[in-house]
């Protein structure tokens, strides 16, 4: 068997086209969605991802402000910049690129972002909304993964989904999203004794452990859907958490790296930013409407 490829580039273009239409409608009403991106330090991968975000904004008509700070910026100074963007009416989305330098606590910074502008969906208010199934911004990477599963028409109800990794930005929200759609979910992590024993039972594996080629073909149930969130820079180049060659011989569906989840992450960020602009516009409209007497 050779797995069918889930093409994240094509799927992200479809999302971007929708976002561009929504942006055009907002602009026609005099509102330009705006995203503020805060980038701290010299992490080269972060610079790549942020450049992609800024370019993507440009392509769909979203205004972006990229603010770059030296790695030595204090937590207080960074918090002050976040708070300034919270007050800025032209900014509808704020994101702080992760990881941050070790002297800055990411949770403290994320907590300072207004939940209404938290287009990364990392604030505890939005994390709580996801947990309870109420309205809020959902993290871009797991939302992109769900979109990919929907795009191939995959029914999650009754399936066994295994998530590799328990990060706040991918593993945990991913598990909740799969659970909320009726899957039976197992999370494997660093302390799981034998990951293969678990993944061989999975109908879907989402690999987000941050370990190059962790999931091999011999750890996959034939026909399973494999979603690779990994983004590892090795001597051999960029590779995912899945050993693509051996996995594709066993799986039913598989995402490539690059060209899989990454482009969908960026597309979901654009979608969240435009949603935020639409919501803020609605609030402003209702607060300026004169009540009927
Ligand atoms: N504030 C945030 N920080 C981080 C997030 C996030 O969602 N918000 N996620 C990751 C990195 N990330 C987005 O920021 C991200 C990673 C990868 C890609 C991507 O398009 N990858 C390309 C390959 C790019 C390359 O050549 O290196 C692909 O897969 O095709 C987009 C976004 C951590 N930090
Ligand atoms: Mg840190």
- Could you tell me the CATH number of the domain that includes residue 160? 3.40.50.720
Provide the domain limits for residue 225.
140-262
Residue 202: CA count within 13 A, CB half-sphere:
30
167 and 235 fall within a common domain: yes
76 and 186 fall within a common domain: no
Question: Annotated binding residue at 287?
Answer: no
Q: Is residue 275 assigned to a domain?
A: no
Q: Is residue 16 assigned to a domain?
A: no
Q: Is residue 43 assigned to a domain?
A: yes
161 and 254 fall within a common domain: yes
Using H for helix, E for strand and C for coil, what is the string for 88-155?
CCCCCEEEECCCCCCCCCHHHHHHHCCHHHCCCCCCHHHHHHHHHCCCCCCCHHHHHHHHHHHHCCCC
- Does the annotation mark 43 as catalytic? no
Distance 73 CA to ligand 2 centre (A): 13
Q: Is residue 293 assigned to a domain?
A: no
69 and 148 fall within a common domain: no
129 burial type by CB count under 10 A (0-12 exposed, 13-18 middle, 19+ buried): middle
Is the pTM for the entire model greater than 0.90? yes
Q: What is the ipTM, given to two decimal places? A: 0.96
Residue tagged active-site, from 117, 118, 120, 243: 120
Considering only CA atoms, which of 155, 120, 143 is closest in space to residue 8?
A: 143
The residues whose Cβ lies within 5 A of ligand 2, an ion, are: 102
Report the C-alpha gap between 226 and 265 in whole angstroms: 17
pLDDT digits (tens, 9 = 90+) for 222-257: 999 999 999 999 999 999 999 999 999 999 999 999
257 and 163 fall within a common domain: yes
Question: Annotated binding residue at 166?
Answer: yes
Distance 105 CA to ligand 2 centre (A): 6
SS3 278: helix
Q: Is residue 220 assigned to a domain?
A: yes
Distance 203 CA to ligand 2 centre (A): 34
101 and 149 fall within a common domain: no
Question: Annotated binding residue at 144?
Answer: no
pLDDT at 293: 62
């Amino acid at each position: 068997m050779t797995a069918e490829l889930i093409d994240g580039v094509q799927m992200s273009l479809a999302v971007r086209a929708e976002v561009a239409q929504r942006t055009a409608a907002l602009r026609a009403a005099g509102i330009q969605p705006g995203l503020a991106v805060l980038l701290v330090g010299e992490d080269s991968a972060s610079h790549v991802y942020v450049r992609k975000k800024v370019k993507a904004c440009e392509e769909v008509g979203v205004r972006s402000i990229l603010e770059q700070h030296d790695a030595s910026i204090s937590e207080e100074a960074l918090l002050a910049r976040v708070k300034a963007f919270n007050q800025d009416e032209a900014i509808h989305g704020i994101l702080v690129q992760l990881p941050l330098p070790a002297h800055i606590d990411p949770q403290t910074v994320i907590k300072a972002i207004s939940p209404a502008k938290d287009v990364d969906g990392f604030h505890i208010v939005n994390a709580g909304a996801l947990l309870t199934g109420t309205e809020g911004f959902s993290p871009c990477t797991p939302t992109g993964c769900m979109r990919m599963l929907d795009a191939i028409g995959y029914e999650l109800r009754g399936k066994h989904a295994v998530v590799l990794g328990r990060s706040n930005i991918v593993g945990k929200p991913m598990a909740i999203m799969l659970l909320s759609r009726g899957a039976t979910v197992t999370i494997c992590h660093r302390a799981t004794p034998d990951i293969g024993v678990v993944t061989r039972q999975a109908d879907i594996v989402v690999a987000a452990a941050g370990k190059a080629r962790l999931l091999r073909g011999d750890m996959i149930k034939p026909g399973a859907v494999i979603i690779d969130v990994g983004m590892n820079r090795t001597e051999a180049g960029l590779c995912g958490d899945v050993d693509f060659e051996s996995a594709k011989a066993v799986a039913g569906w598989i995402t490539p790296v690059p060209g899989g989840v990454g482009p969908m992450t960026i597309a979901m960020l654009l979608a969240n930013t435009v949603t935020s602009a639409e919501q803020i516009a609605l609030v402003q409209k209702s607060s300026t409407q004169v009540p009927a007497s």
